[in-house]
């Protein structure tokens, strides 16, 4: 039972990462519940108890707005990410909710081939059962530094 859930959570994280890495940004909001929250934070602000996000969206409408802006308003040099997600720990909270903590590494590849270790950190997730959607995904970056800009979500 626990093993099946572990596998299901890992597959959710993997599908999420592949969607972003393959530039299927329009699918990104669909990984969240209708009111799902997505927040990119830094470990430093979290440790200081400070609420500042690097990016924050509450609900699929805001997530879709972010995608619409990336597609039609924001200008940035063509780039891709490669997500590596590992060390997935789960804790079943109830029949309706499982919590997950996972490590991530995001490598950014620019169009000229320049490759950078762009971000590392932890995903802290609340995932609804049986739908397997993120009710909350907090991306805690290890570093307070961001190179040039953060356009594509982590």
Partner 1 sequence: MLEKSWPAEGVTRVPYWVYQDEEIYREEQAKIFRGATWSYLCLEAELPEPKSFVTTFVGDMPVVVTRDPKGALHAWENRCAHRGALVCMQPRGSAERFTCIYHNWTYDHAGNLTSVAFRRGIAGKGGMPADARPESQAPKQLRVESIHGLVFGTLSNEVASLETYIGPEILPRLKRVLVKPLKVLGSYTQVLPNNWKLYMDNVKDTYHASLLHLFFTRFRINRLTQKGGVFVSPDGAHHCTYTEMVEDRGDAYEKDGMRSAGSQEFRLEDPEVLDQVDELGDGVAIQILSLFPGFVLHQIRNSLAARQVVPKGIDRTELHWTLFGFADDDEAMTRRRILQANLVGPAGYISMEDGAATGFVQRGVAGSPERASVIEMGGSTIASGDSRITETAVRGLWKAWRHYMQV
**Distance of closest approach, residue 110 Cβ to partner 1, in angstroms:** 11
Residue closer to partner 1, measured from CB, 64 or 92: 64
Q: Which residues lie across from 128 on neighbouring strands?
A: 97, 133
Residue closer to partner 1, measured from CB, 69 or 86: 69
Non-local (6+) Cβ contacts of 126 within 8 A are 93, 97, 98, 99, 134, 135, 136, 137
Report cis status (omega within 30 of 0) of the bond before 87: no
Tokens 């999420």 correspond to: 16
**Distance of closest approach, residue 61 Cβ to partner 1, in angstroms:** 4
Residue closer to partner 1, measured from CB, 9 or 31: 31
**Distance of closest approach, residue 85 Cβ to partner 1, in angstroms:** 20
Binding site residues, partner 1, CB under 8 A: 40, 42, 44-45, 48, 50-59, 61-62, 64-66, 68-69, 72-77, 144-151
Residue closer to partner 1, measured from CB, 118 or 134: 118
Joined together, the tokens standing for residue 151 give: 């356009």
In degrees to the nearest 10, what's the CA dihedral of 70, 14, 10, 134?
20
Query: ∠ CA(63), CA(40), CA(145), 5° rounding?
Result: 135
**Distance of closest approach, residue 70 Cβ to partner 1, in angstroms:** 9
| Rg (the chain; Cα; Å) | 15
**Distance of closest approach, residue 28 Cβ to partner 1, in angstroms:** 14
Residue closer to partner 1, measured from CB, 12 or 36: 36
């Amino acid at each position: 039972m626990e093993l099946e859930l572990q596998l299901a959570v890992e597959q959710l994280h993997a599908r999420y990462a592949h969607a972003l890495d393959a530039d299927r940004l329009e699918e990104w909001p669909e990984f969240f519940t209708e009111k799902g929250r997505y927040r990119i934070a830094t470990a430093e602000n979290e440790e200081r108890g400070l609420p500042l996000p690097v990016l924050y969206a509450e609900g699929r409408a805001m997530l879709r707005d972010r995608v619409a802006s990336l597609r039609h308003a924001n200008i940035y040099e063509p780039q891709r990410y490669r997500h590596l997600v590992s060390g997935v720990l789960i804790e079943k909270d109830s029949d309706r909710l499982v919590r997950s903590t996972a490590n991530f590494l995001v490598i950014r590849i620019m169009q000229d081939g320049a490759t950078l270790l762009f971000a590392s950190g932890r995903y802290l997730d609340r995932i609804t059962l049986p739908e397997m959607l993120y009710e909350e995904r907090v991306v805690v970056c290890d570093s307070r530094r961001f190179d040039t800009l953060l356009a594509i979500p982590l």
